[in-house]
Each structure stands twice: as structure tokens, then as C-alpha cells.
Amino acid sequence: MAASSERSPPPFPDSEEPELLEDSDEGADAFTGTSISEMDSPSPDSTRPPKDIFNEPPEDIFSDPLSNINSEPQKKVDAKIPSPSSDEAVDLFSDPLDDDSEVMSSPEVQNPMPDLLNEPVEAPKSDVLGEPPVSSVKKAASSEMFGDDDDDEDLFKEPPKVVTKKPQPSGPPVDVFTEVKSDVKVKPQVKDDPTDLFAEEALTAPAPKPSAGSSSSRTNGVHSEEQDLFSEATVELSLDSPRNDRKNKDAVKPSVSAPAAPVASSSSKAPSKTLKELEEEESEDKFDLNISITNPEKVGDGMNAYMAYKVSTQTSLTMFRSKTFTVRRRFSDFLGLFEKLSEKHSQNGYLIPPPPEKSILGMTKVKVGKEDPSSAEFVERRRAALERYLQRVVSHPSLLQDPDVREFLEKEELPRAVSTQALSGAGFLKMLNKATDAVSKMTIKMNEQDVWFDEKIQDVENEEQHLRKLHVMVESLVNHRKELSGNTAVFAKSVAMLGSSEDNTALSRALSQLAEVEDRIEQLHQEQASNDFFTFSELLADYIRLLGAVRGCFDQRMKAWQRWQDAENMLQKKREAEAKLLWANKPDKLQQAKDEITEWEAKVTQYEREFERISATVRKEVIRFDKEKARDFNRQVIKYLESLLHSQQQLIKYWDAFLPEAKAIV
């Protein structure tokens, strides 16, 4: 779902054929911006720069008119929705309740209508379409059932958009539709998008289609009804009801929720689909980009010394100038990269892999230049952590596209990352995160309407706790194993001594053999300890950090939500003010008030869209993260088990060799 949401409208407005499915594959590309730009270009709004869609305000600007229209009703909807428990909210909107919703909305609808009419809805629409659910619904309706009447199709499409934003308006007068229709016609590209989406969905969920078709055909005649249907679908979308609910609904009342069905199916399929996509992406995702960090080298002396790492990249990607290249980077460069990335991407809900933490103690030791094993271990540990960090960065399809990443990998000299000097970037960010986290937790009471997020946030928190616990334990395992290895060594020595003073030659021999065996076992324990550490403990540490980043994404989403809510409140206030003015009959100020309302309506829509976009991104990111996590854990666990297996085998070998010695004692 996340993926589809980001998909931009396809190039050809009129082409509604489901065959456009191919585009779905490119959905991934959509993120990269280039594809988006292509897709968008046909649309009237072609002015949009490619990346703007995601990052920039222009998009919002376009959406404004529409959003204004929608904002009002939607607010209402929201207000209503929260009252019942979120799960039921969905049901509320489902057919039986539709009437109610209409009723409720009707008064509000009045207001939006004029706005709608007055303003050029066109630009906004395309944006609106950007949303997958709507488009899918529309598409379902349009392509399947309405394929014949273009008008109808358009009509439907249009309303859905409008509807999406405001379920209540569904009840609105015909005028709206007509208007909408015209708009629709102006911007046909909108349609395409939906079709693609739908097509994809249709593939994934063929079953729902027929029902949708039938229902739509049934409703076909009556505009208002159809609208209701759409509204329903859209309501569901906006609510982001849990998949299960949707499924249930589908099962229970397929005919009623016909329009909803495709949506539901699409959303319910979403995770698996995204998984699939990710699978596919993975293959692409492998990107043929190998990064390794080698040769940690101390540069300079004293406290100004630092470790430089050789970052070698091997790739066949055309975006790089050559196939293999090497640069030297120091630790703060890595932190700098992270900062640049998080500055640019984190507010969009992207999951930026966090770099390893700065360790003043460890580095100081290295700086002092003692050649003791602990500092060597420190360097090796950091090298491995940095390598994993970079690999995570480049395996992220959107981050790989970032010019800073490319620069980091390619450019000979990087400007020194200064900001990381005093305080570790990760540490600082963490502090900041924690602070905002705490504050937002206190101040923002987010009324989570999306069960998926609700569960996920819980999951992530639990998981983090568990991993922390686990990490502590694994650390203690590592320490204990090191201790064990030390003790084994000491024991081996003392057995050797015992053997030397034993006067029975055979026994003495056996004892010294035993000492040797114990010596080897000590080696084994040592290896195992470092295996424990590098494959297990570090993995956990990484994921604790990553989970922190995931929570950061959730926080970003929450912030977006907060912005949106604030704007809603503001709008509400403005409306009240307007009403008062109206009551007081002060026409001179009325115009100003109206202007303000329009302004705020625009903002609300913008923020809402931002929120939805960020939700989609976060969702996608989290799904991707989960997948990666599963893969990583699997890989590491297997590696770990193999190392265990190996050491057990060695152990068997050693003891087997010793057995005859013991038996030889006479």
C-alpha cells in the first residue's frame, strides 16, 4: 500500500487499460523521483519537479485548493470518528452507517461546495490521486464496471478523490459532481494512476474484483449512491482500518462494500505485496554494490590522531564513475554522512541507518597508541560496525540515490564534518530524539487510528526492550567466555606443572597431554568468545540502534500528525470566528476571515497529505526494515550456529585425540 501510495499518475490520461500494470513494477522507481517526474509531466501540473512530490512544498501548493475543500468535512469526520473506538469507526462508515455519515456531513458539505466550485480543483486532484486507496477504488469502479462511459468513469474518479478527503461530502449535491467531472476531464492523468494501481491489485486480489464490479454496476445508475460507496471506501482508507477488519467486512458483506472491497483487498494484500516487491527489490536491491572497509590506519599523533579507514567500493552501477574506487574516510566523516542524510530524509519518514556510536574512551586508548589487544579489538569492532553501517545505507534504494552518499563513496576529499566534533552525531541525535520523544509523548496524545501503526509501535518498543535485555546477556556471555578461556589457560598451565612433577611416566605424559588439550580448548573458547561478540552481540547492538531509528520514524510521523491537528484546530477557530462575524453581520471583516479560512484549509490539507505521505513512507520503511531484520538475523544466527558447530567439532577432535593417552596410563 505504501508503495502504491507514492505512485504518481501514469502518463496517459485516457488510457485506463489495466494493462498498464507494468507501471506497478516501476513503483519502486517512483521513489527515486525521476520516474515520478516522467509520470507527472503529462499532467497539467507538469511544473512539478520530480522530487518535489515527496519533499517539497510545491506539491502542497497544488493540493491546496482541493485540500481546502476537503479539509472541512474531513475534520468533521475525524471528530466523529474518534468517538467510537477506532475499530468500530470503520464499521460505522460501512454501509449501514453511510446514511448517517451523509446526514452528518450534509451541513458541512454546504461549505465546501462553494470552495470547490470557486477554486481550480485540477491541480490538487492529481495529488489527491496520488493516494493509492482512492485510486484503486476509482480504478476498480472505473475500469471494471464503467469502462464504457467515460463520463461515468470520470465522475467516479473524481468524486472518489473528493470523497477521499471527506467522506461526508459524499452526500453533496450533484453540482459538485459535475464540477468535479469537468475537472477530471481536464486532468485525465489521474485516471491512469488508479488504473495501474488497480491493475496490480487486481492481480493480487482477483476475487474482490467481481464483487466490486457487480456492486458498482448496481450502483451505477445512481450517482449519489455511488458516491456513498466511494465515500465509504475512502473513509476506510483514511481510517486505515486494520486489515483484518477489512477482510471481515469483505466476507460479511461483499455486495455492500463492493467499492470498499478492492480497497480492502488491496490493503490487506499490501503487506504481502510489499514483501513481494521487496523481494524483487532485493534482487535489484543487491545493486551490485560491494562496499568493504579495510586497513584501519592511525593518522597523526597524540590527541589529534585519528583512524582512517579505507572504503572500497565495487560496483557496476552506472551512477558511479568507475567500477572500483577507494577512498579514505575517518570516523567523523561517517557521522557527517549520517547527519546529512538524516537532515534531508528523516522528516520524510525514511529510516536512516544509525552509525556506530562515538567512543571517547576507546578512541583515546587508540590515540595514546598502546598496542594492547583491547585497542586492536576496538578498532576492529569499529571497522566492522562502520562497514555494516555503510552497507545498510547503500542497500536502501532511496538513500543510495542521495548525492551525499555517492560523494562519500567516490569523492577523494570530503569537507571535514565539524559538527560531529564535540558530540557524537549519533549520541546527540539520540539525546535530541529522546528529549523530543519525551516531550511529544507528554504533549501529543496521538489518537492512533491506524491499528497497524499502533501495533507496530508497540512491537518495536517491546522488541527493543527484549533486544536490550538480550544484549546485556550476550555481553555477559562474552565476558564469561573470555573468563573461561583465561581460566582454562591457567588450568592448562597448572596441569602441565602437575604433570611435570608426577612420577608415573604414563600419567605424567597424560597430564601434559591434557594440558595441551586444555590449551587448545582455551583457544577455542577465545575464538568462540569473539564469535559471540562479532556475530551476536554486535548484531544486537546494531539492531538496538536501528530500532531507535525506527522509533524516530514513528516520531516523525507523530509530529506530522501533530502539525496537521494543530492546523485543524486553527481552522476550527477561524471558522468560529467567521460564524461570529456572520452573526454580528460585519461583512467588511468577513472577507478577511474567509481568506484566512481558505488559507488554513489549505494548510490542513497540506499537513494532512504530509501526514499520509509520511505514514506511507514509514510503513514501507518499517516493512522493509522488518524484512531486512529477519534476513540479517537469519544470516547471523546461521553464521553463529556454524561457528558453534565448528568449535564443537574441534572439541570432539581434541578429546578424541586425548582418549588413547588417558587409556595408555598403566
Is 255 a binding residue for another protein by CB under 8 A? The answer is no
Position 244 contacts another protein (CB under 8 A)? no
Residue range at the interface with another protein (CB under 8 A); choices 119-127, 342-350, 363-371, 498-506: 498-506
- Distance of closest approach, residue 140 Cβ to another protein, in angstroms: 21
Cα 227–chain centre separation: 32
- CA–CA gap between residue 130 and residue 57 (Å, rounded): 15
Confirm if 253 and 95 have CB atoms less than 8 A apart: yes
How many CA atoms lie less than 13 Å away from 645 in the CB half-sphere?
Answer: 6
Q: How many other CB atoms sit within 10 Å of the CB of residue 182?
A: 13
Which part of the chain contacts another protein (CB under 8 A), choosing from 233-241, 403-411, 432-440, 650-658?
A: 650-658
Could you give the CA distance from residue 35 to residue 487 in angstroms, rounded to a whole number?
62
Strands 324-330 and 289-299: unpaired
Window 452-471: residues binding another protein (CB under 8 A): 459, 462-463, 466-467, 469-470
Residue 122 Rama label (left phi>0; alpha psi -120 to 50; beta): alpha
- Of 114, 116, 133, which Cα lies nearest the Cα of 5? 133
- Residues 125, 246, 345, 481: which binds another protein (CB under 8 A)? 481
Burial code (b: 16+ CB inside 10 Å, e: under 16) for 629-657 equals beebeeebeeebeebeeebeebbeebeee
Pick between residue 25 and residue 343 the one whose CB is nearest to another protein: 25
Of residues 158 and 277, the one with the C-beta less far from another protein: 277
Report the residue from 174, 473, 579, 584 that binds another protein according to the rule CB under 8 A.
Answer: 473
**Using the rule CB under 8 A, is 504 a contact of another protein?**
yes
Taking the complex as a whole, the smallest distance from the CB of residue 383 to another protein amounts, in Å, to: 26
Q: Where does this chain touch another protein (CB under 8 A) — which range of 245-253, 272-280, 312-320, 551-559? A: 272-280
Check residue 497 for interaction with another protein (CB under 8 A). yes
Q: Cα–chain-centroid distance for residue 64? A: 26
As measured in angstroms, the least distance from the Cβ of 620 to another protein is 15
Q: How far apart are CA 252 and CA 246, in angstroms?
A: 10
Q: Does 501 bind another protein (CB under 8 A)?
A: yes
Q: Does position 207 bind another protein by CB under 8 A?
A: no
Q: What DSSP string describes 138-172?
A: HHIIIIII-SS-HHHHHHHHHHHHHHHH-SGGGS-
What is the rounded distance in angstroms from the CA atom of residue 331 to the CA atom of residue 309? 8
Query: 597-626 mask for another protein (x: CB under 8 A)?
Result: -----------------------------x
Residues 6+ apart with CB under 8 A from 535: 636, 639, 640, 643
User: Rounded to the nearest whole angstrom, what is the least distance from the CB of residue 27 to another protein in the complex?
Assistant: 17
Give the residue with the Cβ less far from another protein, 375 or 488: 488
Please identify which residue in 14, 151, 279, 284 interacts with another protein, judged by CB under 8 A: 279
User: Do the beta carbons of residue 399 and residue 352 sit within 8 Å?
Assistant: yes
**Does 325 participate in binding another protein (rule CB under 8 A)?**
no
Q: Which of 34, 46, 374, 649 binds another protein (CB under 8 A)?
A: 649
For residue 538, state whether it binds another protein (rule: CB under 8 A): no
514 to 533: interface string for another protein, x by CB under 8 A: x-------------------
Interface with another protein: number of residues (CB under 8 A)? 64
203 interacts with another protein by CB under 8 A: no
In angstroms, what is the minimal distance from the CB of 454 to another protein?
Answer: 15
**Contacting residue, 56, 149, 576, 642, with another protein by CB under 8 A:** 642
End-to-end CA distance of the chain: 76
Alpha helices in 290-402 (DSSP H): 331-345, 360-368, 373-394, 397-400
Using the rule CB under 8 A, is 431 a contact of another protein? no
Binding test (CB under 8 A) with another protein, winner from 222, 251, 506, 582: 506
Question: In the structure grid, which three cell numbers stand for residue 82, read together?
Answer: 474518534
**C-alpha 321 chain-centroid distance:** 30
CB-based contacts of 138: which residues, under 8 Å, 6+ apart? 129, 156, 157, 160, 161, 191, 194, 198, 230
Among 377, 502, 527, 596, which residue sits at the site for another protein (rule: CB under 8 A)? 502
Strand order in the sheet with 324-330: 289-299, 306-315, 324-330
**Using the rule CB under 8 A, is 477 a contact of another protein?**
yes
- Asked whether the beta carbons of 16 and 195 are under 8 A apart, the reply is yes
To another protein, the closest distance from the beta carbon of 2 in angstroms equals 16
Name the residue nearer to another protein (CB basis): 109 or 517.
Answer: 517
Q: At what angle do helices 538-584 and 373-394 cross, to 10 degrees?
A: 50
* 576 is an interface residue for another protein by CB under 8 A: no
Sign of CA dihedral 588, 592, 595, 597: negative
Tell me 534's DSSP state.
Answer: I
- The yes or no reply on residue 29 touching another protein (CB under 8 A) is no
Candidates 144-152, 286-294, 383-391, 640-648; binding stretch for another protein (CB under 8 A): 640-648
The answer to whether residue 510 forms part of the interface with another protein (CB under 8 A) is yes
| Residue among 494, 569, 591, 592 that touches another protein (CB under 8 A) | 494
Give the one residue of 117, 507, 577, 590 binding another protein; rule: CB under 8 A: 507
**Stretch binding another protein (CB under 8 A), from 44-52, 247-255, 414-422, 499-507:** 499-507
The H or E element spanning position 310 is strand 306-315
- Site residues (vs another protein, CB under 8 A): 272, 275-276, 278-279, 459, 462-463, 466-467, 469-470, 473-474, 476-477, 480-481, 483-484, 486-488, 490-491, 493-495, 497-498, 501-504, 506-507, 510-511, 514, 626-627, 629-630, 633-634, 637-638, 640-642, 644-645, 648-649, 651-652, 655-656, 658-659, 662-663, 665-666
